Amino acid sequence: MSGYISAELLEHLLWRGESETLDFKRDQYVISGATDAEKAEFVKDVLAFANAWREGDAYILIGVKDTKSGRREVVGVANHPDDADLQQIVNQKTNRPVDFCYFSAVVDDKEIGVLHFKAGQVRPVHLKTRMAALDPKNVYVRRSSSTDVATLDEVSKMGHALRPSVDVPRLELLLESDRTQATQLELVSTILSDPPRVAPNSFAPELALLAASHRLAELSKPDPRKLAAYKKRRALLRPVNFCIKNTGTIALHDVEVQLVIPQSGHLIVSDELPTRPRSILEAAEGIDLSSLHSALRDSFESRGNAFHLRYSIGKVQPGNIGRSSEFYVGSTVEQNLALTAQVYADNLPRPIVVNLGVVIRSETSLVSYEADD
């Protein structure tokens, strides 16, 4: 089979931990001029992934260091073995063909190797004759992040199991806001303006003229200008989250949704609401409105002309709905957003691309300088 991996899927894999469907190898396998023991190291990994209990494709990324958390470190490789040579090493020695391929990919301007194992592998797969320390009587299997020898009961089940690709997970991705779920969502941003005949700059001199008791009462409240700025930002933002509906008959494992939102000069995107300013006496710093994205954390990245958000939803049982945490969207002008989301899961054969839309309408109101919320 020919090999290809999208940049989006590759980036997703770099953020995942090792499992029955993923492994990281810092160093390239020794193939050219290799000893039987060195070739056996490669063959053992291939057998383990071929026999793994998985419902989707699996990958070994070579030239990537497993850092155990965060994005894995791409170190790259200096050379690539020929896929035909790898096929010969494995499939001449096994009881049945292994459906895999090797190809190169580029990430972070470095070349890495990719071993891709397709879903639906017929099992069990084992060696026909001994190869270095590999015993042909053993059926090697991937368990979590390590390789083990399958039990007799497991080998028996492998022989009777249906091909994993027969039952493919099915899902529906929706946007949700204020209990409304849709692929095309409508939000309303409230634009607050100052009331007539009120000049915010007049607050400071007015405070200076208040009586001491009145001044103390005023100082126990938030700074009116900061409070007004907070209310204006808060009124613009509307909560949004993802809903994953499992419409199939098998569970979705380790679901992750990635969303691309095109940037615009009037668009505000955040993973949290602004912080309400504290009283003047408490020396509240208020909120910084000079940056639209200062509140965004690991789930957000700005690349090119778009915002990239990543949310983990976890396991979703058949008939259930999984929800992401909320993010917030608002705009100072009306606009229509065309969004592209990708859904990943350990047992999905490939990412699912979903086109979504958000229509942002606006309404106007007057801001209150009273600390009423």
- For 36-73, what is each residue's pLDDT tens digit? 999 999 999 999 999 999 888 999 999 999 998 889 99
Please report which confidence band the pLDDT of residue 243 belongs to, taking 50, 70 and 90 as the band edges. Answer: very high
Q: What would the mean pLDDT of 159-164 be, rounded to a whole number?
A: 56
Q: Which domain holds residue 118?
A: 7-166
Residue 299 clears pLDDT 90, i.e. is over it: no
Tell which wins on pLDDT, 299 or 333: 333
Are 160 and 27 members of one domain? Answer: yes
Could you give the 3-state DSSP secondary structure of residue 113? strand
Residue 265 lies in a domain: yes
Could you give the 3-state DSSP secondary structure of residue 125? coil
Candidate from 2-16, 248-262, 322-336 with smallest mean pLDDT:
2-16
Number of domains into which the chain is organized:
2
C-alpha 236/C-alpha 269 separation (Å) is 10
Are 160 and 180 members of one domain? Answer: no
Task: Name residue 360's beta-bridge partners.
Answer: 187, 335
pLDDT for residue 260: 85
Interval 311-361: pLDDT, tens: 999 999 999 999 999 999 999 999 988 888 999 998 887 889 888 889 999
Please report which confidence band the pLDDT of residue 272 belongs to, taking 50, 70 and 90 as the band edges. Answer: confident
Q: What would the mean pLDDT of 106-121 be, rounded to a whole number?
A: 94
Cβ-Cβ contacts under 8 Å for 36 (sequence gap 6 or more): 131, 132
CATH assignment at residue 22: 3.30.950
Residue 183 lies in a domain: yes
Could you give the 3-state DSSP secondary structure of residue 24? strand
Q: What would the mean pLDDT of 202-227 be, rounded to a whole number?
A: 57
Please report which confidence band the pLDDT of residue 194 belongs to, taking 50, 70 and 90 as the band edges. Answer: confident
Which residues in 121-160 are b (16+ Cβ under 10 Å) and which e? Answer: bebbbbbeeebeebeeeebbbbeeeebeebeeebbeebee
Could you give the 3-state DSSP secondary structure of residue 201? helix
Are 155 and 219 members of one domain? Answer: no
Last-in-domain residue among 134, 166, 198: 166
Task: Name residue 191's beta-bridge partners.
Answer: 364
pLDDT for residue 63: 97
Are 175 and 161 members of one domain? Answer: no
